[in-house]
Amino acid sequence: MNQRRSFLKTSVVLASAMGVPALARAAVAAPHERVLRLYNTHTGESIKRVFWAEGQFIPDAMADINKLLRDHRSNTIKDMDPKLLLLLDKVSAKFGGSDVLHVISGYRSPETNAKLAKASGGVARHSMHLDGKAIDIRIPGRDLAALHKAALAEKSGGVGYYPSSQFVHLDTGRTRHW
């Protein structure tokens, strides 16, 4: 096993020095890219996109992600907080980064949020979903408590745990949990 690692490390260094782009990209570019794999449970749409690379967000990818995270009831799209996408990437990375995050709720229009708040005591009237700063997710095949724990460990915004509804809420507001 150690010989194999040594061989791979040496190969990457040599490839980089020789200008072999494929091996160099595999070793160097991946840490400098951020990828999200999302599935919208209400629309059935899915996406796998590099949304951040070379130190910046990728506008086309951001637009595609915003569309997937739209309010499916009103078909309203809002720009999602880039910090939220970075947070999702960090939480996903704790599980290896290859899982598809199932989205229960992303952006909510004021009309949708008001309707949900009226129907349920668990929906805030001034929800961060209204500002594109919140998302409700789960990862099929992964323990929901482990997802909750991973989100809490980031200490980056609000984290809500809803085991009976099978999702974890993440937002980019002040650090808090419930």
- Residue 136 is given by DSSP the state E
Q: Please say if the pLDDT value at position 77 is more than 90.
A: yes
pLDDT for 122 equals: 77
pLDDT in tens, 97-151: 999 999 999 999 999 999 998 888 778 888 999 999 999 999 999 999 999 999 9
Q: The tokens of 50 are what? A: 């590099």
Whether the Cβ atoms of residue 39 and residue 100 lie closer than 8 Å to each other = yes
User: Shortest CA distance to 161 belongs to which of 147, 173, 141?
Assistant: 147
| pLDDT score, position 30 | 55
pLDDT of residue 120: 80
Q: Residues 69, 135: contact at Cβ < 8 Å?
A: yes
Q: Which fold has domain 33-177?
A: Muramoyl-pentapeptide Carboxypeptidase; domain 2 (3.30.1380)
Coil, strand or helix: which one is 52? Answer: strand
User: Are the C-beta atoms of 158 and 175 separated by less than 8 Å?
Assistant: yes
Question: Is the predicted pLDDT of residue 158 greater than 70, yes or no?
Answer: yes
